[in-house]
Amino acid sequence: MSEAPESYEAAVERLEQIIDRLDSGQAGLRETLELCREGRELVTYCSAELDAVGEGLKELRLDELAAKLEPEAG
Amino acid sequence: MEELPGPFPVGRYARKLQEELRRRARVRLVGEVTGVSRSKVQAYFELRDAEGAVPCAIWLDDLEKAGLPEGGLRDGAEVVIGGGPDYYPGGGQASPSFAFRATHVRLAGEGDLLARLGALRKQLRAEGLFELQKQLARPRLPKTIGVVTAESGAARRDLLAGLRRRGWAGTVVWAFAPVQDRRAAAAIAAAIQGLAATPAVEAIVVARGGGSLADLWAFCDETLCRTVAMLRVPVISAVGHERDSTLIDDVAAIACSTPTHAAEAVVPLDCLAAREALTRSAAGLRRAGEGAVGTRSRHLVALARGPARALRRERVALNQKTREIRAASERGLAERRAFQRRLALVVLSRAARRAAGADADSKREALRRAEVAFRAHEPERTLERGYALAEDSGGEPVTSAAAALAAKHVRLRFADGGVGAEIDRNGSEHERGT
């Protein structure tokens, strides 16, 4: 990937721009292929982001977390 | 200091002070009760809010008459008291003390709280504290969220259910805290700060079910609300229900009416819908990519065919022209040849005439001589000299006696004409049989 998106929303926003541009039919062949490549990278990124919050809800407790961190810090 | 009046005996001054304070207007005060203690005849406490406090005392008789519920006068209770300032001058052994002498006390009602809340709200708004959280960027898809709520409560369950409905299954860091009374405010603030200090936490939800304003009063705590306002992590409040408006709702990035709504606010992205949309986007991209190449390659093929067609057209046209030119040139050539032929004939005939002219006279002389010679040999000339020519019936000359005998009949041609003649065998001098 040329440059990782700043965030999921940034990636989706860019992806929407790309689709709009492609749908407009105004992009030349070189631009179209470039946009498709960028779009595929964004889809991959977004998909990974969704996967990261799709593999089972994890529950932690702040007090336990803090207790764990304290010995490390000390 | 010598210019000051006195010196007066202190006991007299103390009593004078007591009289003056007691003359001050009687008023009602509202605030939170802290530091409750009792003697045999009185109850002592401080009434305070964020700005200050007043030591208070109430005779147990008056307290009883107030009819507060059991344990009503307790730390953290929001009360309204009626009374005025008083001073106990003390005595030879007893210590003097100042107190607001409460003669009446009741728990603060909705109206009292709303009035206090209104004033607080006005102040915090004026300080711009309502805007800070709202200016923070909120992630649409946080991987880790922090939640402050009661360990046992519907809010926790509702929030989890809401998150699951969105298809979100990231990490939740729980910071459990009492959410019921005024004293809860400090614990809630500590929990929120603890979560905000956890690097992975991208957004914080503060959730509590509905209740009276007094129940929710902890979430109107000025210190708590100032803490929330200054955090750099977005806080989503879901305290009480729609009709309850606490101060934390005002300072939070977003205020929700229920924990379910808070789930939608903390994870704005519906993960299930997002996945479907992403699949559509991917398909769209694939189509666009393939389409772009396909359409263009077809176009290219068409373009490539174009010149071939044009060439074919040109070739046909060229062939046609070539034929026309050839035909035209052939016509021209034929005409030219004919012309040249005509020209050659003229030239030749002229040349022939020129060539012929030189020996014509000699030829004519030869011809004349030949004619004379020929005429000398003509049979007619011979006949004119007295000879006769025997001819058979066919007109052929009969040139022998045997032929004459065989012919039996002959025609004799003389110079002046012919006569028929019979061959007389008897007078024949031809030797028969010889």
Which residue out of A30, A55, A60, A61 would a mutagenesis test of the B interface target, given it has the greatest number of B Cβ atoms within 10 Å? A60
Q: Is residue A2 part of a domain?
A: no
Domain tally for chain A? 1
Pairwise CA distance, residues B222 & B31, whole Å: 13
Which residue in chain B has the smallest CA separation from A18? B285
- For residue B100, what pLDDT is reported? 96
List the B417-422 sheet strands across, edge first: B389-391, B409-414, B417-422
Domain tally, chain B? 3
A residues 1..40 contacting B (CB < 8 A): 7-9, 12, 15, 18-19, 22-23, 27, 29, 32-33, 35-36, 39-40
Looking at the structure, tell me whether residues B249 and B201 fall in a common domain: yes
Cβ separation of A61 and B176 shorter than 8 Å? yes
Print the domain residue range for A38: 8-73
**Local confidence band at B433 (pLDDT 50, 70, 90 cut-offs):** very low
Q: CB neighbours of A35 closer than 8 A, spacing ≥ 6? A: A18, A21, A22, A27, B288
Q: CB distance A54–B271 less than 8 Å? A: yes
Residue B430: per-residue pLDDT: 63
**What's the one-letter identity of residue B54?**
V
Residue B434, pLDDT above cutoff 50: no
Q: Which range marks the domain in which residue B180 is found?
A: 124-272
Residue A37 lies in a domain: yes
The 3-state DSSP class for residue B288 equals: helix
Do B249 and B146 share a structural domain?
yes
Is B188 in contact with B218 (CB distance < 8 Å)?
yes
Average pLDDT over residues B275-281: 90
Contact A50 B194 (CB under 8 A): no
**Same domain membership, residue B129 and residue B37:** no
A48 and chain B: CB distance < 8 Å anywhere?
A: no
Quote the ipTM score: 0.82
- In this prediction, residue B131 carries a pLDDT of 94
pLDDT digits (tens, 9 = 90+) for B56-74: 999 999 999 888 887 788 8
Domain presence at residue A1: no
Q: Which of A13, A14, A18, A36 to mutate to test the interface with B (most CBs of B within 10 A)?
A: A36
- Would you state the pLDDT for residue B197? 92
Q: Is residue A3 part of a domain?
A: no
- pLDDT tens column, B74-84: 888 889 999 99
The pLDDT value recorded for residue B308 is 73
Q: Say what the pTM is.
A: 0.59
A73 touches chain B (CB under 8 A): no
